[in-house]
Amino acid sequence: MKMIEVVDLKKHFTLNTSVLNTEITEVKAVNGVSFHIDEGETLGLVGESGSGKTTTGKLILRLLKPTDGKILFEERDINEIKDREFRKIRKDIQVIFQNPYASLDPKMTIEDILTQPLTIHKIVPPLEFKKECVRLLDMVGLSAKDAKKFPHEFSGGQRQRIGIARAIATKPKFIVCDEPVSALDISIQSQILNLMMALKKEFKLSYLFIAHGLNVIKHVSDRVAVMYLGKIVEMGAVEDIYTSPKHPYTKALMSASPIPDPDIKRERIILKDEIPSPIHIPSGCAFHTRCPSCMDICKHKTPELRTENGHSVACHLSLGTVLGDNNVNGDGSC
């Protein structure tokens, strides 16, 4: 069963770009994204800063209103649901934030932090709050004596455990994980990822796992979607993406992932320039200004996202049509 379905989702922001506010510019942060996440499934959403992945997460959490498109949670469009009713659904859709230092109120004890969602969503009767907090702390590898402490008394990894305990306090079905380990030491990252996977298994959770690198999501995702300038450029089963990436951008991201075996060397693909601003998205294939395989056609024709055997790619190289195009240089000369 589909837990979440995102259909042609768009979020365009408008900016005043002149001193006299006479020029309005559109920023296409999310520009036509579609995917689904099944019950108990993890979709890894990867891309550089500015690719639109965090905005996609915020749209799914209904922290932003989409410009266009639909977000269905258990087949209901969350933007068509009235605020009052959405509050009931809110407990099923939770979030784990990137920064465990900023996401916990420094003035609240851990017990207060965990009691908040229990109170708002009436998860257990007030008399059981203390017992429930201890149960939640135990589930994330902390102890009952931690309940009376404040966030500053914990390490980054422990704070992220508290953030996870808060997310699962409402017994959610789906969690948006917004780069949950990127602020942590490498040695702690795997502990947090293992905890998240154990909780997923125990509670049949679905995750949207947002990350900027492919290495983090490899072990936690069932499928992976790669975003570039507001669009998905490749999506498929995790084994397909890691063993046979098709899009040049995915290949470049893959080449930047460290291999934990000193005997295996991988050629690094260095992309030229930074990711362009979503204010000025390049014509044709948005990746053409950095693509090592760029052809003439890429500059003026946008490749569609096409799916074959569950593996979707938006690249003229992967689309059979390109073979008959006379404008193809194929020499990366864009």
What DSSP string describes 91-157?
TTEEEE-S-TTTSS-TTS-HHHHHHHHHHHTT-S-GGGHHHHHHHHHHHTT--GGGGGS-GGGS-HH
Q: Rounded distance, CA 54 to CA 293, Å?
A: 28
- Positive or negative, the CA dihedral 164, 167, 172, 176 is negative
CB-wise, 218 or 316, nearer to ligand SF4? 316
Q: Cβ closer to ligand SF4: 214 or 295?
A: 295
Nearer to ligand SF4, 137 or 233 (CB): 233
- Evaluate whether 94 touches 171 at the Cβ level (below 8 Å): no
What distances in angstroms separate CA 177 from CA 56, 103, 155, 172, 180, one per listed residue? 12, 13, 19, 13, 6
Which ranges in the chain belong to alpha helices (H)?
Answer: 53-60, 83-90, 110-120, 129-139, 156-168, 186-203, 214-217, 238-243, 248-255, 296-300
Closer residue to ligand SF4 in complex, CB, 137/241: 241
* Residue (169 or 314) nearer to ligand SF4, CB: 314
- For residue 58, the minimal CB distance to ligand SF4 (Å) is 27
Cα 217 from Cα 249, distance rounded (Å): 16
The binding site for ligand SF4 (CB under 6 A) comprises 247-248, 285, 287-288, 291, 293-295, 298, 303, 315-317
Min separation Cβ 271 and ligand SF4, Å: 11
CB of 220 to ligand SF4, least distance (A): 26
CB nearer to ligand SF4: give 53 or 288: 288
CB of 304 to ligand SF4, least distance (A): 10
Q: Look up residue 303 and give its DSSP letter.
A: P
At position 251, the amino acid (one-letter code) is: K
- For residues 255 and 253, what is the distance between their CA atoms, to the nearest angstrom? 5
What is the nearest approach in angstroms of ligand SF4 to the Cβ of residue 266?
20
Smallest gap, in angstroms, from Cβ of residue 25 to ligand SF4? 24
28 touches 69 (CB < 8 A): no
Q: What SS3 class is residue 48?
A: coil
Nearest distance in Å: CB 273, ligand SF4: 13
Looking at the Cβ atoms of 48 and 92, the one nearer to ligand SF4 is 48
